[in-house]
Chains A and B, each alone.
Chain A
Amino acid sequence: MSRRAAALAWACGAAAVAALPLLVKNAFLLHVVILILMWTVLGAAWNVLGGFAGQVSFGHAALFGIGAYTTIILFLKAGVAPWWGIPLGGMAAALGSVPIGLICFRLRGPYFSLATLAVAELAKLVALNWESVTNGPVGFLITDLPQLRLLGHAVDWEAKTPFYALAALLMGFALFATARLRQSRLGAYLVAIRENEDAAEAIGVDTVRAKVLTLALSGFLAGLGGGFYACYFRYVDPDAVLNIGLSMEMVFIPMVGGLGTVCGPLVGAVFLTTVGEAVRERFQVGHLIFYGLFMMIVIRFLPEGIWGRAALALRGRRKEAKGVGAA
């Protein structure tokens, strides 16, 4: 894609995102769109590590949870407004990811995955037992909605639009960060690590540094998503923000959309969230049946994911071979 075409695509995307709340007046539909945006951020968070660097984490709920707890605790105990609290939540998760990375990246392949799973379970135990900070199993609920003012306007907590705007901003940031990463040397190095870690070291790639940096970026994005979740649902407890299912959903979204692509997480989130919400009406936990099924179908028949396959079809295979990954 040429530079001009890329700029055009970004502009069209931004215009569509800006126009959407004017067209969608139904509160439930807008809620679904907000969920899609949030899941795109979370899918993008997992994708930079899992899709680009090939490091399959089963513990991203821990990073999401750190973000959610940081944002809600700052808000309830120190009165920090969400628009500061969410980025701080992202930063807390990025910081928390560094020791996790230094421990888990000593392991490779499936062993890394198992270690992240254990770390996430440990994080959940900490949240359950460190009552003075986390309120234990009870968690936090934002009950009284304080008067907050942004740019001279009172924030309307009940309206969906402010949350839509916030989520759109976060999603834009996540996709932009992924696009930049893909063009950078670090992004290329991550692909080298995914393809063959020993060979990457041999050509001078500091694989540990590259992976830890990427996990920090991934943690930052996951923490942003967690902070947003806390504000939007006004509720955080260990079961809600630190469960294995959440880690798995973060894996599935970029998998279904297209691993190691910029738009894959968006496509995956649109697909999975729409299906999930549609069936949630009928059977309560039914959406997870479909998530599992899609996962199996995608790996078997569409390993590039929906967007990955579409991108391949658009450009033709020969041209594809020249670049690292798809768009």
Chain B
Amino acid sequence: METFVQSLVSGLLMGSLYAMIGIGLTVIFGVMRIINLAHGEMVMLGMFAAFFSQKLFGIDPFLSVLALAPAMFAVGVLIYRFLLRKVIPGGELNTLLYTAGMSLLVANLALFAWSGDYRTITLSYGLAPLRPLGIAVPVALAIGFGMAAAVTTALWLFLGATDTGRAIRATSQNREAAILMGIDVEKVAVLTFGLGTALAGTAGVLLAPSLYLYPTVGELLIVKSFVIVVLGGLGSVPGAIAGGLLLGLVESLGAVYVSATYKDGLGYVLFLLVLLYRPAGLFGVGKS
């Protein structure tokens, strides 16, 4: 029972960060119909930015995130403005392949610049996990969870209660209608891509103290993000939150109760089954 609760807690903590990555991917898809294969690399960039902020300037990741989140937003805006926007008219498969090329480019540039070594971030505090009710909670993950929850709530309010947020949701639901309503969908697209990239980068910064850092980590994360957004329904923010938490749970419970190798296999099988039979996601809220 204790192991169960323990895996439940660590699964949810990890899942909250997965959810952030998934939300980033899903809002971009919703508004632009782009499946961004370079999304995992944006997480990787966030991780390395956190690493170097600490190493070079001694800034704690949970502090540097305040500067890195807007920086990643800017990265997303620049990528959209100067690279992606030009290829979108070529069709969704061209865009998909373009982001595949971008993913390869960014990951291997990072590999070239920083080598393939595994790195870790060591915090000066929280060496021993917190133990509320006898359950071990790693401090870094707990802070990460808190920040992820705050960011997600803020995003929720932004999408629900501001004009810009509503414009994003409207464009996501029906692009043509949004154009007719006088929404500047081009501006919405830039914003959304920046926002999605910022979410990926922020998740990277928050994950950095809890994971190994290496340049090709994006490959692993992008596959995970697909599982998340497909489980939750492509284009759906609540779906991505649920999908992220679900994947976190499946991974931590699977590692305990099923063998570690078959746990990943179950993820892919579930992914295929959902794609085939519930293309709108497990909760039926996404777009097929």
Contact = CB atoms under 8 A, between A and B. Distances in A.
In the complex they form, whether A and B have CB atoms below 8 Å apart is answered with yes
A106 B276 contact: yes
Nearest to A286: B112
Interface of A: 54, 56, 58, 103, 106-107, 109-111, 113-115, 117-119, 121-122, 125, 128-129, 244-245, 248, 251-252, 255, 283, 285-286, 288-289, 291-296, 299-300, 303
Given A109-B93, A300-B87, 14 more contacts: A58-B100, A110-B96, A118-B223, A118-B268, A125-B265, A125-B268, A285-B111, A286-B108, A288-B104, A292-B107, A295-B97, A295-B101, A296-B83, A299-B94
B162 to A, nearest CB: 30
B104 A295 contact: yes
Contact of B93 (A56, A106, A117): A56
Contacts of B104: 245, 248, 288-289, 291-292, 295
Interface size on B, as a range, is 35 or more
A292 B261 contact: no
22 contacts: A56-B97, A58-B100, A109-B92, A110-B92, A111-B279, A114-B275, A121-B223, A125-B264, A244-B219, A248-B100, A251-B97, A251-B100, A252-B101, A285-B112, A286-B112, A291-B101, A292-B103, A292-B104, A293-B105, A296-B98, A299-B98, A303-B94
B63 interface: no
A110 B93 contact: yes
Nearest to B234: A111
A33 B17 CA distance: 47
Interface in B66-107: 83, 86-87, 90, 92-94, 96-98, 100-107
Contacts of B269: 122
Contacts of B139: none
Contacts of B230: 114
A109 B96 CA distance: 10
A127 B109 CA distance: 30
Contacts of B103: 292
A118 B112 contact: no
Contacts, number: 113
Contacts of B93: 54, 56, 109-110, 113
Nearest to A244: B219
A79 B198 CA distance: 56
Contacts of A244: 219
Contact of B98 (A109, A115, A300): A300
A127 to B, nearest CB: 11
Nearest to A255: B97
Contacts of B100: 58, 248, 251, 295
A254 B100 CA distance: 15
Contacts of A283: 112
B101 A119 contact: no
B101 A129 contact: no
B226 interface: yes
Nearest to B33: A110
B110 to A, nearest CB: 10
B272 A296 contact: no
Contacts of A122: 265, 268-269, 272
Contacts of B114: none
Contacts of B109: 289
Nearest to A128: B261
Contacts of B112: 283, 285-286, 289
A143 to B, nearest CB: 27
Interface string B263-288: 01100110110011001000000000
Contacts of B219: 244
Nearest to A288: B108
Given A56-B96, A119-B272, A125 B261 contact: yes
Given A114-B230, A295-B100, A300-B98, A121 B268 contact: yes
A292 B38 CA distance: 11
Contacts of A109: 92-93
Which of A245, A288, A291, A296 has the most chain B CB atoms inside 10 A of its CB?
A296
